[in-house]
Every structure is written in C-alpha cells, then in structure tokens.
Chains A and B, each alone.
Chain A
Amino acid sequence: MFDAYTSQVLTFIGINSILALSLYITALAGQLSVGHAAFMGIGAYTSALLMAKLGWPFFLTTACGAVAGGFFGFCIGLPTLRLKDLYLAIATLAFNIIWVVMVMNIEAFGGALGIFNVPKVTNNWIVYLSLGVLLLSFYRLQDSRMGRAFRAIEEDEDAARAMGVNAVYYKVYAFTLGAFLAAYAGALYAHFVTFISPHDFEVDRSIEILLFVVLGGGQTFIGPVVGAVLLTLAPEVLRFLAEYRLLVYGLMFVVIMLIRHEGLIEEDTISWKRWSRWLRREGDASPP
C-alpha cells in the first residue's frame, strides 16, 4: 500500500502516539514522569529476550513485556506517592538513568551493545489497531468515574479525598497503567527495529515523550497524539536542515512556550461548539 519509507514513518508515528498516551495517563492523575523511556525499555527487553531465549510467540512476549512494565511502574509509583511535581519528575529521571546503567552492565541482556536480530513482527496493522483501541478507551474514560477521579486528583488532591476518592489507589493505578502502555510500545518497538540497546531508552527518549505531550497539549487525549505525529514527522521534514536540525528542534520549544504554552490542542480546539460558532460567525467567536 505504502512504500517502505512511508510505511516505516507511519509505524514510528503509531508507536510514538502510544508512548505519548502512556505519559498522558500518568499526567492525567497529576503525576509528571520523566522516566517513561525506562518502562519502554523494560517492555522492549522483556519481549525480545522471551522470544529469543524461550521462543514464545509475539502476542505472549508483548503481553509479558507490558505486564513487566506495569509491575515496575507499580514498584516505582507506590513509594514515590508523596513526591510532588518537580520532585517526582526528578525521581523518575533518576530511575531512568539508573535503569540504563544497570542494563548496560548485565551481560545476559547484551550489555552495552544490546540485543540483535530481534524477529520483526510488528506491522502497521498491529500498531494502529492498538492505537485505535487506546483512543477508544480514552474516550470512554472521559465520562467515567475513574476519569473524573483522575482529573479531580490532578486539580486538588485534598478536595478529591474529602469527596471519597482514594487518591493513593488511583495515583498508583495511573502510574502503573502508564508504565504498562509504555512497555507495550517498547515491545512493539523492539520487534520493529530488530535491534535494541540501552541507549534507545535513555533520558533523551523520556524527554522526547514529554515533548509530545507538551507540544500537542495535555488537556485532551488528542493532544499527545498530535504532538507525537508532528514531532515524529519533524526530523523527516527538517532533514534538509542537516546538522542544524537539532538547533531548530530546541529553539522550537522555546518559541512554542512563549506563544502557546498549553500546547497546540486545547479543549476548545476539539469542541464542536467552538468550531461551529466560529464557522457561523456568531458573536465574538474566534477560532479555537
């Protein structure tokens, strides 16, 4: 259907979208993680190793990878409950760095060189089907008690608790889910690029995922996906800039923060009401 190059870009867009959503779910409950790449790596390594050493089928290794990620997410999420904002971000950053160093030193995991010849199983059907299910799930989550609980915790945890929300439970839940999804994306990634090493999952990657959400907008679940799409395409589009690519990339964030710090997609941007009002030129309507 598509040529090899386009198909590959589409796959990365899909995987990055899942990663963006994995960060979004933890952010939804008010937790900022700058270490999601580590969970991605856990999923990637688990799936690759299970297939290589035990010969298990794709769907099983991927599932195990995701569960492994979720497990570590739980292990990290629970003790870090008390940490707020910046402190939690730094703690997750530390976890990311420690994880990378540990994996680099374990020979059984391929050490610093990584794992080669991971069977290529991931294709766009799998990726986009997963993404579709995820998007549908987020849509369902919006008008649900769990979704409201997450958002209440993010806004005012104490008031949420006073209204009967078990904040501890939901925060750990959100963190675990985020890690689970990131690990799932990691497994898909491993079986697509066929070669993984600890360097694929360093803090740079975590920051990249964070930027998906920041650029696209963290107010809706569409935002992170838009961010992922744009930032995955950006290096391709900016290819002509050669070594100036990163300059533009970095500068872009400075500029975006100055112009539209909430990100591209706000709630208004995807609300029917706002668009139809503007199109019909009602009142003092402005484009969302």
Chain B
Amino acid sequence: MLAQQLVNGLTLGSTYALVALGFTLVFGILGMINFAHGEIFMLGAYMALLLVTVGKLGIFWALIGGMVGAAILGMLIERVSFRPLRKVSILAPLISTIGLSIFLRSLAQIVFGAESTRFPVNIKTEFYQVGPFQISLLQIIILAISFGLMSVFQVFIQKTKVGKAMRATSESLYTAGLLGIPVDRIILLSFAVASALGGVAGVLVGLNFNAISPLMGKMVGLKGLTIIILGGMGNITGAMVGGLFLGFVEVLSVGYLTSSYRDAVAFALMFLVLLIRPTGLFGRVAK
C-alpha cells in the first residue's frame, strides 16, 4: 500500500514540479509572481482536450498542442501584464495577473462549462510490477514526460547560450542588459518556456486524474506558490525537489489523514518555512 502511494506521490509530484518550475523561472528573472500561471496550466489541459476531441489527434499531438498554446498564452500575458508594468511598481503586475486569472477562469467556464470534463485517453490500463511497486502504463508515461522535460530543461538552462543568458538575466537584469543580452526578448522567452511547462503539466494532470475543470488552475496555482517558497524562490532545483516533495506529502496525507486537511498541510508547511527561513529551503534572496 505504501509502495503504491509512493508511486502515486512521485507521479503527482512530478507534475507539481513542472508547475513550480514555471513559477520559479518568472520569479527568478523578474522577482514577480504570475498569478495567472494556474490558469495557463488549466488552459493547456483544455487546449489538449480540444485537439483530442475536435481535432481527433493523438495524445502526443495533444501534448505538443497544449505546450505551444500555453507558451503563446504566456507570452501574451507578458506583453499585457509585465512588460508595461514591471518598472512601474511591484504590485501592479501582480494585480493585473490576478485580474487575468479571474478573466481566464470565467472564460473557461463560459466556453467549457463549469463542470469537470473527462479526458478521453486511449492508453491501456496496464499495470506493471516493479519489485514492491505497482505502476500503471499511464503513470510511466507521465513520469517519463515530466522527468524528460525537466532534464531537457536543465540542459537548456545550463548548457545552451540562451539558457545562460536567462540565468544571467535572473542574476541581474541590469548587468545582463549592459552585457548586450536582449533582456526584453529573454524575458519573453522565459515566459514562453515557463508557460509551456505549466501547460504540459496541465495535460499530464488531466491524464492522471482523467478529469479537467476550469477551476483546476486555482488550487494548483496556489500550491505552485507554496512549492517555490519551500524550495526557494528563483531556485530551479528547489522547485523540482519541492514539487516532488509536495506530491508525496499530499498523497500520503490523503491516505493517512482526512483529505480535507490535505490542502492545509502544504500551506502550513509553507507558513512555517517562511517564518524560519524566508528565502526558502534552498533559496537565495530575491531582488
């Protein structure tokens, strides 16, 4: 039983990690939170759903579609909420994205209805036994994609020229500009990458629970926030570890505590961490 829970926790946690990465990328570069990130996650799932149901495309294309659609959405948000406002005040982009999240959520509710929808996935419900662990084919796929993306991302951010430019910009926007890095474009790209990760996570979560709803972004958005606090704002490893950790904690607490406390656990942890180590467990001081 515990073994099963661990697998479930890992699966859930890997999707959380993707969401957290998105948050932490934006925070690392701008020192701000995109409150609409949860809605990007949600809309990524819906875009994939449309591709599968209306477009009659396979899961693979649905994932790509979700990623690309989310990336585009993310870039739009950067143009509307961050580019014009980030120099003006710290609060303004925050409020703007809060407004956007309300807008996007109700848009989804109008277009897709407020109920949750099944995610039609034609993946065989096969189970494999790996030692004491029982894992389904679906879970394998999810884990493969999440960890695959995280690895690709790590390579991207560490080894490629663009990735290094992103890291430089997140160290110091000003200095990066002086060094000739096209800061505005890097920021836009960061939003695209962050949102793509969020969108994919949405699709994966939809697959995992076989249900998506317009409201799924809200809680996930808030949890993403807790993860980056726990793991350290702006810290990539912290976001990934934090996401996995939260996945485990949640699954275990549902199993061993009443499910209604599940949400509170994450936030209680976050509150404690904020009190003890305001920059998060791995974090560095934000700008």
Contact = CB atoms under 8 A, between A and B. Distances in A.
In-complex A–B contact (CB below 8 Å): yes
A102 interface: yes
Contacts of B278: 82-83, 87
B36 to A, nearest CB: 10
B96 A243 contact: no
A95 B226 CA distance: 12
A252 B99 contact: yes
Nearest to A85: B90
Contacts of A257: 81, 85, 92-93, 95-96, 99
Name the interface size band of chain A.
Answer: 35 or more
Contacts of B267: 94, 97-98, 101
A210 B95 CA distance: 9
Contacts of B264: 97-98, 101-102
Contact of B222 (A32, A97, A105): A97
Interface stretch (B11-19, B204-212, B269-277): B269-277
Nearest to A100: B264
A257 B95 CA distance: 7
Name the interface size band of chain B.
Answer: 35 or more
B40 to A, nearest CB: 15
Contacts, number: 115
A252 B106 CA distance: 14
Interface string A173-205: 000000000000000000000000000000100
B245 to A, nearest CB: 16
Interface string B104-128: 1111011000000000000000000
Contacts of B33: 86
Given A243-B110, A253-B95, A261 B85 contact: yes
Contact of A261 (B88, B102, B226, B261): B88
5 contacts: A83-B278, A94-B268, A101-B263, A258-B84, A261-B89
Interface of A: 32, 79-80, 82-83, 85-87, 90-91, 93-95, 97-98, 101-102, 104-105, 112, 203, 207, 210-211, 214, 243-247, 249-254, 257-258, 261
